[in-house]
Structure 1
């Protein structure tokens, strides 16, 4: 049986929007959908699961659907389930989130700890309903983007849309190439931008020869470059390196910014 696409639910509107997005994603990939709710209150769990099932069935009635209630804390339950999942899908803020918080603590914790891709469903209803016909992947200079590029090509393939591969390199006020600490993304260039993109795409493209890819080099730091690209895309994908000697991922400044401010769903893909 195919591994599932797992979505965290808590009854909040952002989590129900995540369920709708995940149900459509499961249908595209031919995957079962698994709903996970973490709570110690049985009545609350029943209501949250019931609402999520209704939303999923309305979006993709043919997708195999299962559900589960966990007594663990939400982040731990989702990370555990993500060890055998295609991806984890989360709303940008849960029921307990404060209005002023741009990203819920559970979503951020899961994105930093999961072994599988984590997709945080952001965006206004108008943006989520729109179809821009492309997905965007951020490409770094050096190792770190391979898994993200492969995930992005698969997304473009199942969506039958084009992939936009973005390589960003900003400059400091003095005109020097930005370092990782200033840009948080591309770092100082050692190779021509076209070569960076070609090298990152060459091997993964062998598996998706019919996918149209637009290569885009932006002379901006990673954060504004990718946020700008996110305004006209269906899904924004970035990679994350694993911590050396420690569990979890290195969510850099740009990844944090995208998870908090992106106008569209964001996928964080761990580097294998």
Structure 2
């Protein structure tokens, strides 16, 4: 994953959103881009609730989190990264505000669920609906056994379950872009990459294997030192990816981009929607982009 702009993180006061912000801070090291923390106030009764009081509470929330993040950054074995942390409190609808901020973002990061779903495995409504509307890549962060705020001397990168990075691979260019970002993240974090191919969804096993092996060679050429393998598994793609997420450090998928306000399921596709709902790991959803490296990928006829 190669960041091309600032990273925005939706903050709601939950442990999940705090962990998402710490994850983003670590990914920003050395990029020169800023971490943008956005807290959205959605009063239940605009005419009754005290907007000034709500804004003050939001600002205090972001100030406290920013301080914790600065301490985490300074405690890194290589020293502080100097990443700029900016904060913003906005009154409005969380989905609309964050979708707007994602217009020119390098990445939008969300916690798996919000403050109202403590210890829940169920994904929050914003985290589920927003990836289909945002024009940028979206990372829905799920806190695992470890914590991003754990001692950075012991865990200078992300806490790792050990399953590496998993990317769903098919013949589409969406999958090609997702594979590039998955390989980039794997190399940056010293993790293995698993290219997962659901063979039942493809018409010819021999052709599918040849193309997947071609993709593997292509990625190894683009990312020297990449540790990667292809897995051919029988079954429905969404079910295979959800199963793989149980041990994955990150699950990466391509998503369609038909326009900011089209239906979420149209943009993500049925497989991406199903995986996002049930994945046990963090999920990175990557929109299509023109990437010159795709020209070296074997033609997908």
TM-score when scaled to structure 1? 0.82
Indicate the residue corresponding to 2:170 in structure 1.
Answer: 140
| Aligned counterparts, 1:5-154, within 5 A | 5-27=7-29, 29=31, 31-39=33-41, 41-61=54-74, 62=80, 63-97=83-117, 102-126=122-146, 129-132=159-162, 134-154=164-184
Farther-moved stretch of structure 1 (13-22 vs 52-61): 52-61
Which residue of 213, 224, 246 maps to 1:231?
246
Q: Rg: which structure is higher?
A: 2
Give, in whole Å, the separation in 2 of the partners of 1:110 and 1:102. 15
Indicate the residue corresponding to 2:192 in structure 1.
Answer: 162
Give the direction of change, closer, same or farther, for the CA distance of 1:192–1:58 in structure 2 (3 Å limit).
farther
Shift of residue 126 of structure 1? 3.7
Shift of residue 93 of structure 1? 1.1
Shift of residue 96 of structure 1? 3.9
Give, in whole Å, the separation in 2 of the partners of 1:7 and 1:100. 20
Matched positions, count: 257
RMSD between aligned residues: 2.9
Q: 5+ unaligned residues in a row in structure 2: which ranges?
A: 42-50, 75-79, 149-158, 290-301
Give, in whole Å, the separation in 2 of the partners of 1:30 and 1:198. 35
Shift of residue 239 of structure 1? 0.7
CA contact 1:165–1:214 (8 Å) conserved in 2: yes
Shift of residue 265 of structure 1? 0.7
Indicate the residue corresponding to 2:278 in structure 1.
Answer: 261
2:255 equivalent to 1:240: yes
**Deviation sequence 1:170-227 (CA, Å, 0-9, x none):** 4xxxxxxxxxxxxxxx454476232232344555544312212211111121123112
TM-score when scaled to structure 2? 0.75
Give, in whole Å, the separation in 2 of the partners of 1:42 and 1:246. 28
3-state DSSP of counterpart to 1:140: coil
Give the direction of change, closer, same or farther, for the CA distance of 1:114–1:200 in structure 2 (3 Å limit).
farther
Give the direction of change, closer, same or farther, for the CA distance of 1:159–1:34 in structure 2 (3 Å limit).
same
Q: 5+ unaligned residues in a row in structure 1: which ranges?
A: 171-185
3-state DSSP of counterpart to 1:236: strand
Shift of residue 49 of structure 1? 0.8
